[in-house]
C-alpha cells in the first residue's frame, strides 16, 4: 500500500472529499486524539500555554488542546482541511450558544437554582463540567516548508501530528526546493518562533531510517536539542515522536526512563566541531567523539575487521554517573 505523501502533494491529496472522509473516520479521530495527548505529555506544560499546531488539518488535535485549556494557532497547507476545521468550529459555537440559551431559561424558571449555583461557584466547584473547552484556534493557510511567518519568541510550545514527513516529498525537477531546503526553512523558523526554554513535539511517520535521520539532523542543525522516541516499536502501529528543546531547555526529564530514546544536542555537536572532536559518520553527518552513535559505528567497524566486540544493549553509550 502506497503512502499518501508518495501519491500527491498534501494540498491536492486532501481535497474536499478526502478531508471530510478523514475527519469523519472514528478510528482516525481516536488515533489523532491519542497522539495529541502523548505530545502534550512530552511537552510537560505546567500551565495553560500558547501553542502552535503545525499541520493542524481539520482541527482534531486542536480539540484536545482546547480541552486541556490551551490557546492555539493552527497552520495547514490544505484549504479543504481548513474549511472543514472552520465548519466544525462554527458547529461547536452554535451548540454552545443553544446550551447557554437553555441554561438561561432554566435559571429564570427557578430562582433557587441561581442561589445554589452561586454557592457552588463560591466554593470552587465546577457543577460537573470538565476542563475548559476553549473557543477554537485561529487558522491560516500556509506551507510550512516555506518557513513559519511568526515573530521570534511568539509561542510557548508547538506540536505537529502526522505532518512533517510531507516535507520530504517534493518535485524532483525543482532543484530550488529540495527536501533538505524545506526541512531547513521549517526548523530554522520554528526555532525562532518559540520562546527560550520551550519545547516542540513532532509526531511523524518516517518512510525509512534515512528520512528519519534527515529530519532529526535538520532539527539539530537549527539549534534544537533533539530526542527521538518510538511507541510500539517494531510493529505496524509504531509512532515516532521528535522531542525538541529551545536554547537552555532540557528534554531529559520528559524522556527519563523511556526505552529506545536517543538524545542529541545541537550545541554539543557544534562545540565538538570547534574542538575537532568529531568525524563524519557513514550517513554523512557529523558524529561527536564518545557519543552513542560514534561508539556504535566504531564497534561495527571492528566487527567488519573480524574482531570480537561486546554485544549492544540499551546501556551502550550511556554516560555513567560521577562516583565520589
The values of phi and psi at residue 306, to 5°, are 85, 10
Q: Give me the CATH number covering residue 188.
A: 3.40.50.150
DSSP sequence for 88-136: HHHHHHHHHHHHHHHHHHHHHH-HHHHHHHHHHHHTT--TT--S-----
* pLDDT value for 129: 34
Asked if 217 and 292 sit in the same domain, the reply is no
Asked if 68 and 212 sit in the same domain, the reply is yes
Residue 311 inside a domain? The answer is no
Integer Cα distance of 172 and 9 in angstroms: 12
Residue 314 inside a domain? The answer is no
Asked if 260 and 284 sit in the same domain, the reply is no
Asked if 69 and 189 sit in the same domain, the reply is yes
Number of domains into which the chain is organized: 2
Asked if 240 and 276 sit in the same domain, the reply is no
Asked if 26 and 141 sit in the same domain, the reply is yes
Pairing type for strands 138-141 and 155-161 reads: unpaired
* pLDDT value for 116: 45
Query: What pTM does this model have?
Result: 0.69
Asked if 53 and 178 sit in the same domain, the reply is yes
* pLDDT value for 81: 96
Asked if 193 and 68 sit in the same domain, the reply is yes
Mean pLDDT of residues grouped by 10 in the chain (324 residues)?
Answer: 84 94 95 96 94 96 94 96 92 76 56 45 35 66 94 96 92 79 96 95 94 93 91 87 79 53 54 58 61 82 78 71 51
Asked if 8 and 141 sit in the same domain, the reply is yes
* pLDDT value for 115: 47
Asked if 218 and 250 sit in the same domain, the reply is yes
Q: Is 219 helix (H, G, I), strand (E, B) or coil?
A: helix
Domain boundaries, position 112: 4-264
Residue 199 inside a domain? The answer is yes
Residue 24 inside a domain? The answer is yes
Asked if 149 and 287 sit in the same domain, the reply is no
* pLDDT value for 101: 63
Residue 315 inside a domain? The answer is no
Exposed/middle/buried for residue 9 (C-beta within 10 Å: 0-12, 13-18, 19+): middle
Among 264, 282, 313, the domain boundary falls at 264
* pLDDT value for 96: 73
Amino acid at each position: 500500500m502506497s503512502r499518501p505523501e508518495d501519491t500527491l502533494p498534501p494540498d491536492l491529496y486532501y481535497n474536499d472529499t478526502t478531508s471530510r472522509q478523514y475527519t469523519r473516520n472514528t478510528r482516525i479521530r481516536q488515533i489523532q486524539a491519542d497522539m495529541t495527548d502523548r505530545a502534550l505529555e512530552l511537552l510537560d506544560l505546567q500551565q495553560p500555554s500558547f501553542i502552535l499546531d503545525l499541520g493542524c488539518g481539520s482541527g482534531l488535535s486542536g480539540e484536545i488542546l482546547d480541552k486541556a485549556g490551551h490557546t492555539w494557532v493552527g497552520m495547514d497547507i490544505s484549504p479543504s482541511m481548513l474549511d472543514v476545521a472552520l465548519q466544525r468550529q462554527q458547529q461547536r459555537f452554535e451548540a454552545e450558544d443553544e446550551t447557554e440559551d437553555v441554561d438561561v431559561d432554566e435559571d429564570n424558571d427557578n430562582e433557587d437554582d441561581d442561589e445554589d449555583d452561586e454557592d457552588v461557584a463560591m466554593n470552587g466547584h465546577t457543577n460537573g463540567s470538565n476542563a475548559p473547552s476553549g473557543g477554537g484556534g485561529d487558522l491560516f493557510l500556509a506551507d510550512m516548508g516555506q518557513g513559519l511567518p511568526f515573530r521570534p519568541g511568539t509561542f510557548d510550545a508547538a506540536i505537529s501530528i502526522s505532518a512533517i514527513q510531507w516535507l520530504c516529498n517534493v518535485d524532483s525537477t525543482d532543484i530550488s526546493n529540495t527536501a533538505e531546503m524545506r526541512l531547513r526553512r521549517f526548523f530554522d523558523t520554528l526555532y525562532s518562533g518559540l520562546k527560550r526554554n520551550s519545547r516542540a513535539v513532532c509526531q511523524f511517520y518516517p518512510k525509512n531510517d534515512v528520512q528519519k535521520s534527515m529530519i532529526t539532523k535538520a532539527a539539530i542543525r537549527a539549534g534544537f536539542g533533539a530526542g527521538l522516541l518510538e511507541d510500539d516499536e517494531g510493529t505496524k502501529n509504531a509512532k515516532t515522536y521528535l522531542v525538541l528543546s529551545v536554547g537552555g531547555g532540557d528534554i531529559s526529564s520528559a524522556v527519563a526512563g523511556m526505552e529506545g530514546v536517543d538524545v542529541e544536542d545541537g550545541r554539543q555537536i557544534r562545540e565538538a566541531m570547534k574542538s575537532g572532536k568529531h568525524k563524519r559518520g557513514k550517513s554523512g553527518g557529523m558524529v561527536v567523539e564518545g557519543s552513542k552513535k560514534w561508539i556504535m559505528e566504531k564497534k561495527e567497524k571492528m566487527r567488519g575487521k573480524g574482531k570480537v566486540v561486546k554485544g549492544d544493549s540499551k546501556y551502550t553509550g550511556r554516560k555513567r554517573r560521577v562516583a565520589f
